[in-house]
Structure 1
Amino acid sequence: MLEKLLKILCVCMGLFSFAFAQAPKMIVLDPAIVEILYALKAEDRILAIAKMQAPIKPADKTSKLPVVGTFSHPSIEDILRLKPDYVILNSYAMGIKPQLDNFNIKNLSFEAHSLEQIKNNILEIGKIVGKNQEAQKIVGKFETDIQELKKDSLGLQGAFIYSTAPLMLFGGDTLPSDILELLGIQNIAKEVHGKRPIIEQEFLLKNPPQILFYGVRVDSESGLLNSLPLLKNTEAFTHKRLFYMQLHSLLRGSPNIIDEIKQLKEEIKKKI
């Protein structure tokens, strides 16, 4: 009997050691993936992250993580020193991919141009870290929240402004456009070619917005109106529906985006 118990114990310990050895360690340069890993309760896989100006949730924990350079300029030397199993790149750090390939370091990047892609990213990260069941639960709640947000459509037309000089709006096939659609706001630039097309200012008069969002390259309403004085002729201005947004958090492709969208919807409803 004792011999059988010892055999079972050895097998269990072997399986535990194998699982622990297989748990991949990552350097995560994409803040959205950092938040996904925390949602999956797989933060122990994170060796280091990139330094960000905007906080990464949960900020009280991520602020204590080691860093390997900045979001756009990660340090290849620091990455090599930590010997990660994976490096998760962001779109601004793709320049180091050839170096990672040369050192045979596995690297991945994830696009988040839609809510559907965010769901797929959660599932993919779940597979990598062995948290498939947790990922399915998160995606299930994500889908339920999306269906809830679709109720009580706002019934407006508007746009996300990327820059004012030149005037650039977020077009279709982008996360901002997806968010607008979810809220029941028709993106006036949805059919314009490109993800951030340059637009003539007269476009805003031909397609008058009832609501506008800004916050990437313009940080005040006065600055927005100085650059685009014709906005004073739109319903968005007359009904005080010019919304300054912390777009870096709103457009971060993690499960936390749902809370940001819910908060945005409540703010909009106060002005309708």
Structure 2
Amino acid sequence: MRPIAGTFHPNSRVFPSLSRRAFACSLVGLIATMRLDAQQHRRIVSTAPSITEALFALGLGDQVVGVSRYCNYPAQVEKLPKVGTYMKPDVEAIARLAPDLIVLQTASAVLTERLKAMRMTYVEVPHGTLEDVYTGIRLIANAAAVADRAVALIGKIQGELAKIQAKARVLSSPRVAVVVDRRQGTLGDLTAIGPDNYLNEILGIAGGTNVFAKAGLPRYPHLSLEAIVRENPDVIFDLSSTQDSEAMREQARPAVLALWAQHAGLKAAASGHVYFGTSNALLVPGPRAPEAAQLLFDFMHGVDGRNKR
């Protein structure tokens, strides 16, 4: 098997001394074979939660035979064999599943060379922005010969996001800080959402203004608590967690909110606008982007004043 490629380039080694007519016939036959191969993908391995969610949203869930350690949505994937993490896929575990298509987030050359050497078919998808989500859906759908499904799915996502954005435009835009990592048990060694990334885009669609989406800052700036205090945002989203499941994160909620409540000088803490996000939709860039945007919208605009999501 060979890696999925975007284009096909015939050369003299593949088609030696063929007439134009014979070359055309051979090329048509090869394209037909490639299409047949794509249609026969029945054992797909995913190496990241966002990929798994895209596969299921495209109606390919019954063909998924292996997923990453962190994949837990939809629920049925928890019973599937695990093949490492998106940062470090277990090539041997993947090979044991005998897949005919492997979907990777943009991987290292070392990994892709190993897959080539083992004659495994794979496709790489980008990650990091909302446009990357759409590109990944298209690449996966094309590799699995269901390109029409990508058009429908992307249209659905974009339509739902547009509705949320329309609601947000007529409301005030709170200043928001989104924390995605910190030293557990403390408010030290914070990592926040900066500019040019998926969560910043979703926050903007939901009507929030990211206080750390500033020119010159990295996508995920490392901060001290003092940086949060200086910005004094109206709302703080704490999406940091070491817990794998939503249920475990729900159990951790009271302790997390208590940490922030100690800093009454923060406008968000004093007004009760610190939210600990437990839904995986907030943590995984993918087809559930509208769900993530709706959660952020509800938090910021007071629809869920009980802070239960």
Give, as a single letter, the amino acid of the residue that structure 2 aligns with 1:56: Y
Tell me which residue corresponds to 2:122. 107
Q: What root-mean-square deviation, in Å, do the aligned CA atoms of Structure 1 and Structure 2 show?
A: 3.1
Tell me which residue corresponds to 1:36. 54
SS of residue matched to 2:218: coil
SS of residue matched to 1:212: strand
Tell me which residue corresponds to 1:170. 193
Distance in 2, Cα, partners of 1:110 & 1:116: 11
Give, as a single letter, the amino acid of the residue that structure 1 aligns with 2:146: K
Q: Does 1:187 align with 2:202?
A: no
5+ residue gaps, structure 2, are 1-31, 243-251
1:246 to partner: Cα distance: 2.4
Give, as a single letter, the amino acid of the residue that structure 1 aligns with 2:149: E
Residue of 206, 211, 222 corresponding to 2:235: 211
Matches within 5 A, 1:59-74: 59=75, 61-69=76-84, 74=89
Distance in 2, Cα, partners of 1:228 & 1:101: 53
Q: Is the 8 A contact 2:202 2:292 kept in 1?
A: no
SS of residue matched to 2:83: strand
Tell me which residue corresponds to 2:160. 145
1:86 to partner: Cα distance: 2.9
5+ residue gaps, structure 1, are 1-14
Q: Percent identity?
A: 20
Residue of 286, 291, 302 corresponding to 1:254: 286
Q: Does 1:55 align with 2:72?
A: yes
Deviates more, 1:90-99 or 1:140-149: 90-99
Tell me which residue corresponds to 2:93. 78
TM-score of the pair, normalised by structure 1: 0.79
Name the count of aligned residue pairs. Answer: 253
Tell me which residue corresponds to 2:40. 23
Distance in 2, Cα, partners of 1:124 & 1:117: 10
- Measured at CA, do residues 21 and 133 of structure 1 come closer, stay the same or move farther in structure 2, by a change above 3 Å? closer
Q: Is the 8 A contact 2:233 2:268 kept in 1?
A: yes
Q: Is the 8 A contact 1:23 1:45 kept in 2?
A: no
TM-score of the pair, normalised by structure 2: 0.70
1:224 to partner: Cα distance: 6.2
Q: Is the 8 A contact 1:171 1:196 kept in 2?
A: yes
Tell me which residue corresponds to 1:134. 149
Distance in 1, Cα, partners of 2:228 & 2:278: 23
CA deviations 1:233-264 (Å, max 9, x no partner) are 12211221101012643131221231232234
Distance in 2, Cα, partners of 1:67 & 1:105: 18
1:29 to partner: Cα distance: 1.0
Distance in 2, Cα, partners of 1:188 & 1:267: 17
Q: Is the 8 A contact 1:156 1:211 kept in 2?
A: yes
Higher strand share goes to which structure?
1
- Measured at CA, do residues 248 and 95 of structure 1 come closer, stay the same or move farther in structure 2, by a change above 3 Å? farther
Deviates more, 1:95-104 or 1:259-268: 95-104
SS of residue matched to 2:145: coil
- Measured at CA, do residues 160 and 36 of structure 1 come closer, stay the same or move farther in structure 2, by a change above 3 Å? same
1:73 to partner: Cα distance: 5.0
Give, as a single letter, the amino acid of the residue that structure 1 aligns with 2:211: I
Distance in 2, Cα, partners of 1:71 & 1:80: 16
CA deviations 1:18-73 (Å, max 9, x no partner) are 74774334211112111111111122432311233x6211x1x3233333345555
- Measured at CA, do residues 159 and 120 of structure 1 come closer, stay the same or move farther in structure 2, by a change above 3 Å? same
Q: Is the 8 A contact 1:201 1:228 kept in 2?
A: no
SS of residue matched to 1:145: helix
Give, as a single letter, the amino acid of the residue that structure 1 aligns with 2:120: I
SS of residue matched to 1:50: coil
Distance in 2, Cα, partners of 1:65 & 1:222: 32
Tell me which residue corresponds to 1:234. 266
Distance in 1, Cα, partners of 2:261 & 2:299: 24
